[in-house]
Structure 1
């Protein structure tokens, strides 16, 4: 059998009796055609069994349909899940993704950004924290950030402050004698700072005894486990015999703390109540499912890609109108009550 001939724009033009220019407009600027003509061409593509040549399209219009993504790490389960949700938006928007993991290395992430720009990506999603938004805003490509400093670029974030209030309210309703918060040092410009601020404000407003453990915990399991073991030793020594409500800044660390307690006692002691943050798979798959403040990661991803696509589409217009100022969207968190509080 002979090789099947690829259907060309010329073939489609002859079949529909339109010009090749009209066929090109259908693929690159369909809104410039009437709905009737769009339907005629669409039907012809089906009847001709047309298969689009993506490489030819890129060469023709310079649009790659690629979005670059910079993730800081995969140690925290949150990043794996949010990336999964970002990738799933392909069905809604038709964009593919080039993903780099920066591992919190500023020079590495700058090199990755240059690499992405060399691929002529149409936009970028930034989840890492190393490069200031002022610098990102100077790149000649639309950018949306998720859960990081965002003064000069568009962003989508969770209401972290509200999440902290939800966590503390749950622990207070269980009549804990002392509320404790475990977190890493966070710059006030980062949305996640709201977790510590919300904890502090709630405890002061309700005159609850509290303490914050704010220290670097590291980026590997062994390092995190070592630091949390030291914190747990201090908690046991200082608050022995008292009902302890612990709000941990993310599910990955909450799961490590839970494992330390279960290894020591065989179960979660009655005087410990534990809440995490993110509703990542780690909270659901833990030995005891962990109560947590759920970031709606499907909404975060969808809104971030949608906001980025809006900017990219605007740039494709003959007379694009730049944003007067960055757009910042905030997603409400959801409290999930599980076995580490509902005993």
Structure 2
């Protein structure tokens, strides 16, 4: 006996000695099949334990109303908010989102693109695993040949021809820098993403620009990580073990900032002794009366613009790819 989860229309067809088309018609359009044929097929389906693939049927009925969304860090609260915005915008236009989390793996990212292409999605919103200028994923050529609307989100590949929605990272870094300059802080520890990340470089450039314009000397130490909490915690703890506190710690995203705060807490270092600043709003911090100065971006606008650009291209494939930049504001 075939296992229940493996029974297909082909299995039923072989069992009753009929064609796949006849079996499919009997199961989906029974009025189109002679009663005796229908009864034989339905009896075989019941005996074999056939269960229709409801998901596949749903996709077939919604052809070209499916949009792929690929992200490297669905556990990042920043991306969770963006995904929610995209999902809401998609629902307004009767599209369904297929979300794939690559967990920072280039291999899983490649599989994700293949999967979405196989489902013949109407378009893809992609936040790649890396924004290193040298990163050239092997799926790029497949995307181009598919002639599919693609919008890159936040992290982008250094290639032409695709629309993108990005953050004003230089401004975000500069806003934090201006705040530190106002407080006359000279020694800053930056916990960043990878050194080669364009986002990291732009945020650092903005920070340095603020100090240069403010005329305050800057002693800067950079600890590169991967935009996740644990490396930031490790690097902050290692820095504290050296015994010399920075005047300020600058986390380059909310997970990094949270990692730094946890390390300071575990080392019994008061935030009165070290100023913690960051990029992205800390989720639910206000519940605990925790106030962290931060440069924030409108996650709703980011997600909404990504869907809008994709929607424009699905309606008019001749639409030229373009870039939208989301500004930053300082919250103290």
TM over 0.5: yes
SS of equivalent to 1:312: helix
Taking only aligned residues, the RMSD between alpha carbons, in angstroms, comes to 2.9
Give ranges in structure 2 of 5+ residues lacking alignment.
1-54
Number of positions where the alignment pairs a residue of Structure 1 with one of Structure 2: 269
Q: Distance in 2 between the 1:309 and 1:96 partners?
A: 13
2:86 is matched with 86
Partners of 1:127 and 1:112 lie apart in 2 by 12
The 5 Å alignment of 1:96-245 reads: 96-130=96-130, 132=136, 135=141, 136-150=143-157, 151-152=159-160, 153-187=162-196, 190-218=198-226, 221-234=229-242, 236-237=243-244, 239=246, 244-245=247-248
Q: Which residue of 2 aligns with 1:332?
A: 327
SS in 2 for 1:157: strand
The normalised TM-score by structure 2 is 0.71
User: Which secondary structure state, in structure 1, belongs to the residue aligned with residue 325 of structure 2?
Assistant: strand
Q: How much does 1:208 deviate?
A: 2.6
For 1:8-31, what per-residue CA distance to the aligned partner results, in whole angstroms no more than 9, with x for missing partners? xxxxxxxxxxxxxxxxxxxxxxxx
SS of equivalent to 1:89: helix
**How far apart in 2 are the matches of 1:182 and 1:219?**
9
Return 5+ residue gaps in structure 1 as ranges: 1-53, 316-320, 338-343
2:255 counterpart of 1:252: yes
CA distance in 2 between partners of 1:280 and 1:310 (Å) = 33
Give the deviation of 1:204 after TM superposition. 3.0
Deviation for aligned residue 1:288: 1.9
Distance 1:191 1:267 in 2: 29
How far apart are residue 253 of structure 1 and its match? 1.2
CA contact (8 A) 2:86 2:307 kept: yes
Shift of residue 282, structure 1, vs aligned partner: 6.1
CA–CA separation in structure 1 for the residues paired with 2:189 and 2:224: 16
| Distance in 1 separating the partners of 2:219 and 2:152 | 31
Change (3 A) 1:218 1:195: closer
Change (3 A) 1:77 1:286: farther
TM-score of the superposition, structure 1-length normalised? 0.69
Give, in angstroms, the shift of residue 108 of structure 1.
Answer: 1.4
Distance 1:280 1:179 in 2: 20
Task: Tell me by how many angstroms 1:57 deviates.
Answer: 9.9
| 111-120 or 296-305, which deviates more | 111-120
CA–CA separation in structure 1 for the residues paired with 2:245 and 2:59: 64
1:237, distance to aligned residue in structure 2 (A): 1.6
Change (3 A) 1:71 1:55: closer
